[in-house]
Amino acid sequence: MTTALPATPDYDAWPIEAHLETLTFSPRLVTVRWSDGRESRYHSIWLRENAADDSTINPATRERILDLSALPGWPEVAGAEIDAAGALCVDFAPEQLRLRFHPGWLRAHDYDNAEDPEAPLATVKLWHGGPEAAPDSLDASGLLDTTPDSETEESILAPALESVLGKGMVRLRGLPTEPGSLEAIARRIGPVRPTNFGLLFDVKAKPDPDSNAYTSIALPPHTDLPTREYHPGLQMLHCLENSVSGGQAVMLDGFAVAEALRQRDPEAFDTLTRVHWCFANTARTTDYVWYSPMIRLDDRGELLEVRIADFLRGPLQANFDEVESAYAALMTLQAMLREPEFAIRFTYAPGDLVIFDNRRLLHARDAFEGSSGHRWLQGCYMERDEVRSRYRMVQRRRRERRVAAKGQQES
């Protein structure tokens, strides 16, 4: 008699929140009822493809090796039961194969009752700024002293990642100010994306600059590297020194601005989602050019990204009849970006690290007086995927601890 639960087709741990109680089946469907009353239906072909045995996945990598088209026929259910361990057991024809399914994994992947399988990991919250507004801030002074994947590290990273996923930004405080320490901090989340500015780049006034960012002039609200086919999803700016007069940082939620534009001027909003603008960075040694709308929506009409940087726009190459309406929409957006209600303003302190979604947030900077002191930020880029992956890993570790704690209680 089998008393151990089967493996799952991934590396995660899936707590059993409800037990399988009864089931019915037909050749192409298994219907189960859970101890809390929920009913779930699973197609036979879905179950066959998502089994955890070594004919379906490579047990070393947990990647699928099964080719459904190579089966002798459509997988159908010849029999099904709930075994002594509480797992779902299904006999598949024509393979004459019995496969077992972990109830916690089945429940977590119950597509019959899923509200939105593509829902964001954290609730997206649009925000406005104003004189009293400030970024979500956390004390991260011990981050580099923690062990990777430890509960202590996760106690810092979990709320930080939630703020980035939900609001697009977080400010970590109390971090080291040694040059280059940003790379070690960033790698606690994931790999850094190198660009033509390097793996890390220094944001400070310097002679012979190759970007407006490397001067003391004011920068208008913008996203970085809109000149790339896939501009970075995440940016980190780490303050090493700041003793200048001026130079306040400015942050705006580009999604909040876009939604406000959609309400105020639907025609301008529609124009900025359709017209492809030229974004160009034609420096002395590189020549990056990409064409894209300033506002991009996903398949459901939800905001996906904004791509805005006036100082990196090349000549508009739109349809002749759309040029004036495109510029009218642009100027409406530009005026909105100057409205104080959208902006958070703050001064970087040494040891501050601001992490923000570069495809959602716009950042800007007031001019500063270079002779009044020193202002030195180090920056790097990363992808949205790394934040999502790291947050899923935090959630996985939490589930593993819950499963382990429950196992100890039951033993």
Q: How much of the chain exceeds pLDDT 90, in percent?
A: 79
- Give the residue-averaged pLDDT of 134-161: 92
Secondary structure in 3-state letters for 56-74: CEECCCCEECCCHHHCCCC
- pLDDT higher than 90, residue 218: no
pLDDT at 172: 97
Predicted local distance difference test score (pLDDT) of residue 72: 96
**What digits encode the pLDDT tens for the residues 332-370?**
999 999 999 999 999 999 999 999 999 999 999 888 776
Structure tokens at 164: 């980035």
State mean pLDDT over 64-91.
97
SS3 348: coil
Angle between helices 254-264 and 323-337 (to 10 degrees): 120
Report pLDDT for 207.
67
Per-residue pLDDT at 403? 84
Can you tell me the mean pLDDT for 137-161? 92
Domains and CATH numbers, the chain: 20-117 (3.30.2020.30), 137-393 (3.60.130.10)
Decide: 220 and 311 in contact? Cβ < 8 Å.
yes
pLDDT in tens, 385-410: 999 999 999 999 988 888 887 776 66
How far is it, in rounded angstroms, from Cα 251 to Cα 356?
Answer: 9
The residue that leads in pLDDT, 282 or 296, is 296
When mean pLDDT is compared over 51-65, 144-158, 200-214, the highest value belongs to: 51-65
- Name the burial class of residue 95, with classes exposed (0-12), middle (13-18) and buried (19+) by CB atoms within 10 angstroms of its CB: middle
H helices, E strands: number in the chain: 8, 24
pLDDT computed for residue 247 by the predictor: 80
Instruction: Using pLDDT thresholds of 50, 70 and 90, give the confidence band for residue 245.
Output: confident
Cα–Cα distance for residue pair 241/237, rounded to 1 Å: 12
Please say whether the beta carbons of 214 and 368 come within 8 A.
no
Confidence band, pLDDT 50/70/90 cuts, at residue 205: confident
What pLDDT is stored for residue 410 in this prediction? 67
Structure tokens that stand for 9 in this block? 């087709």
Q: For residue 2, what pLDDT is reported?
A: 60
The stretches of 78-118 forming alpha helices (DSSP H) are 103-108
Amino acid at 342: F
Average pLDDT, the chain: 93
Closest CA to 224 of 385, 379, 332, 339: 379
Using alpha carbons only, what angle is made at residue 289 by residues 287 and 294, rounded to the nearest 5 degrees? 145
35 and 107 in contact (C-beta within 8 Å)?
no
Long-range contacts of 315-321 (CB under 8 A, 24+ apart): 315/278, 316/275, 316/277, 316/278, 317/276, 317/278, 317/291, 318/275, 318/276, 318/277
Pick from 109, 144, 346, 93: which is nearest to 101 by CA?
A: 109
- Selection from 72, 24, 32 nearest residue 48 by Cα: 72
- pLDDT confidence band for 1 (50 / 70 / 90): low
> One-letter amino acid identity for 385?
D
Let me know the angle formed at the C-alpha of 280 by 277 and 286, rounded to the nearest 5 degrees: 160
Q: What is the pTM assigned to this prediction?
A: 0.88
